[in-house]
């Protein structure tokens, strides 16, 4: 592996985007207004990479749109004891050595930002806030999110036009941008930064984690994992069967039996993960050591992450 790139932006106390407030934690946090639209991507906690796949721009509203809308209506009631919300977490701090540039800066063939798509997917599935961890060339990546805010109307229209008759998920979410000072230490540094930010939100029950480099991830996949409803659980026409997300939840998407994203992690696991994750493996060792509910999503996408341009 090549030596770590010099960090161009995103150290603690160094504003990544002018005018955003910093926090007193190990990372700087800024809040935008953002929205949901096209399908996302990622770079996260413990998924086998598949190099050489073409970037695709699937739409956040595609897949089982009724399933997505059902979760978006119920996401605010997840959890226990007054802890009600499910956040989203996009890990996008890496330098992308194999890809040749930070994946937070990559656009697909249609010109859509992988980073903005990842935020949109989580927001469309009802996750709020969406926490985005940046690092390598973090100021440039944060600027893409700001540009996405400026293009809000067009992105809402694109999502609305592409959604089938079943309806859409949530169209907006708060976005918290965290600049991880230690991003060069690997994926675990990004995961720690994101979970620390989540701990500052007392009403969060769980967090849905995705990386920035999974181009065909869609909101229906995120909604299925959060709701724990599989494609074969319900008989045709039967009422939705929604499994509650609690502080103890551990769930992971699978694609034809292969582990993927999102990974939904309940609040009771966050502190332990912050203290124990190391290197570039993210949450993988922790998930292997615990009982994780596996949710098959192969009918909704491939779940592959893109390591190299094609």
Q: What is the pLDDT of residue 66?
A: 52
SS3 track for the chain: CCCCCCCCCCCCCCCCCCCCCCCCCCEEEEEEEEECCECEEECCCCCCCCCCCCCCCCECCCCCHHHHHHHHHHHHHCCCCCCCEEEEEEEECCCCCCCCCCHHHCECCCCCEHHHHHHHHHHHCCCCCEEEEECCCHHHHHHHHHHHHHCHHHHHHHHHHHCCCCCCCCCEEEEEEEEECCHHHCHHHHHHHHHHHHHCCCCEEEEEEEEEEEEEECHHHHHHHHHCCCCCCCCCCCCCCCCCCCCCCEEEEEECCEEEEEEEEEHHHHHHHHHHCCCCCCCHHHHHHCCCEEEECCCCCCCCCCCCCC
Q: What angle do CA 299, 208, 60 make, to 5 degrees?
A: 50
Residue 151 pLDDT: 57
What distance in Å separates the CA atoms of residue 206 and residue 246, rounded to the nearest whole number?
Answer: 7
Give yes or no for a contact between 53 and 301, defined as CB atoms under 8 angstroms apart.
Answer: no
Q: What are the pLDDT tens digits along the chain (310 aa)?
A: 444 443 333 333 333 333 333 333 434 344 433 333 333 333 444 443 333 333 333 344 444 455 544 444 444 444 444 446 999 999 999 999 999 999 999 999 989 999 999 999 999 999 999 999 999 999 999 999 988 665 554 555 444 443 323 333 444 569 999 999 999 999 999 999 999 999 999 999 999 999 999 988 999 999 999 987 544 444 444 444 557 899 999 999 999 999 999 999 999 999 999 999 999 999 999 999 999 999 999 999 999 999 888 7
Question: Using CA atoms, how far apart are residues 273 and 265, in angstroms rounded to an integer?
Answer: 10
| Distance separating alpha carbons of residues 36 and 52, to the nearest angstrom | 27
Give bridge partners of residue 210 from the DSSP assignment.
90
What was the pLDDT predicted at 147?
80
For residues 37-59, b (16+ Cβ closer than 10 Å) or e, as one string?
bbbbbbbbbbbeebeebebbbbb
What dotted CATH number matches 27-230+245-296?
3.90.550.10
State the Cα angle at 173 between 169 and 177, rounded to 5°: 140
- Residue linked to tokens 């192969």: 298
Q: What is the pLDDT of residue 244?
A: 84
The CA distance from 267 to 92, in Å, is 21
pLDDT computed for residue 142 by the predictor: 94
| pLDDT at site 12 | 32
The encoded tokens of residue 228 equal 């724990």
Q: At what angle do helices 152-162 and 138-150 cross, to 10 degrees?
A: 70
For Cα atoms 261, 263, 266, give the angle at the middle one, nearest 5 degrees: 165
Q: What residue spans define the domains of the chain?
A: 27-230+245-296
């Amino acid at each position: 592996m090549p030596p770590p790139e010099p960090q161009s932006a995103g150290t603690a106390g160094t504003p990544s985007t002018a005018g955003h407030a910093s926090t007193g934690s190990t990372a700087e946090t800024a809040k935008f207004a953002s929205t949901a639209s096209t399908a996302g991507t990622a770079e996260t906690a413990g998924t086998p990479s598949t190099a050489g796949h073409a970037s695709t721009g699937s739409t956040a509203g595609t897949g089982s749109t009724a399933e997505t809308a059902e979760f978006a209506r119920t996401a605010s009631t997840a959890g226990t004891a007054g802890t009600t919300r499910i956040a989203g977490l996009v890990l996008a701090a890496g330098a992308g050595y194999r890809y040749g540039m930070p994946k937070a800066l990559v656009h697909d063939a249609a010109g859509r930002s992988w980073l903005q798509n990842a935020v949109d997917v989580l927001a469309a599935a009802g996750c709020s806030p969406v926490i985005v961890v940046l690092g390598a060339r973090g100021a440039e990546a944060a600027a893409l999110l700001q540009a996405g805010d400026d293009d809000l109307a067009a992105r809402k229209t694109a999502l609305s036009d592409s959604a089938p008759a079943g309806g859409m998920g949530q169209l907006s979410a708060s976005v918290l941008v965290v600049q991880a000072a230690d991003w060069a230490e690997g994926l675990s540094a990004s995961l720690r930064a994101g979970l620390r930010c989540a701990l500052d939100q007392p009403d969060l029950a769980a967090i849905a984690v995705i990386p920035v480099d999974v181009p065909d991830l869609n909101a229906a996949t995120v909604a299925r994992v959060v709701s724990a409803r599989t494609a074969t659980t319900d008989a045709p026409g039967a009422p939705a069967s929604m499994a509650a997300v609690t502080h103890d939840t551990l769930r992971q998407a699978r694609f034809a039996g292969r582990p993927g994203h999102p990974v939904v992690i309940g609040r009771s696991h966050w502190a332990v993960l912050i203290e124990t994750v190391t290197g570039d493996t993210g949450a993988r060792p922790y998930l292997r050591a615990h009982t994780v509910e596996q949710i098959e999503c192969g009918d909704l996408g491939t779940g592959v992450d893109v390591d190299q341009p094609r």
